[in-house]
Amino acid sequence: MKPLLSLLICLLASVILRAQGGDFTFGQVTMPELSMKTYDRDSSANAVVLKEFGQTHVTDKSGIALIHFYHVRIKILNDQGANQATFAIPIFMSRDGSTKEAVSDIKAATF
């Protein structure tokens, strides 16, 4: 019964999350984004997340794997905001090294 309930919750969550928006094109920025000097809702902000999108799915091509796609567009408004575009990606590795996560296909652009 618990596996069935878990499956139903996952399916419901995926439908709800999918309805919250979608991805945006990598590397394409608009003129208003480029010309923004301050953030209207907080004039003291050093940086602002303009768009953010994530998607996760499970695959079993070569063993079961959890694939996560994350896309974010951050506007740096001044020098103090530069650290907001730096982030760490935590990964798991078992103590004996037999099980580990990997990171691949990282892209970045600045304008």
Which pTM was predicted? 0.65
Residue for token pair 């003129």: 31
E strand map for the chain = 47-59, 65-76
If pLDDT is split at 50, 70 and 90, which confidence band does 67 have?
confident
Distance CA 93, CA 87 (A): 19
pLDDT in tens, 37-55: 999 999 999 999 988 888 8
Residues 6 or more apart whose Cβ sits within 8 Å of residue 39: 45, 48, 75, 77
Within the chain, how many helices (H) and strands (E) appear? 2, 2
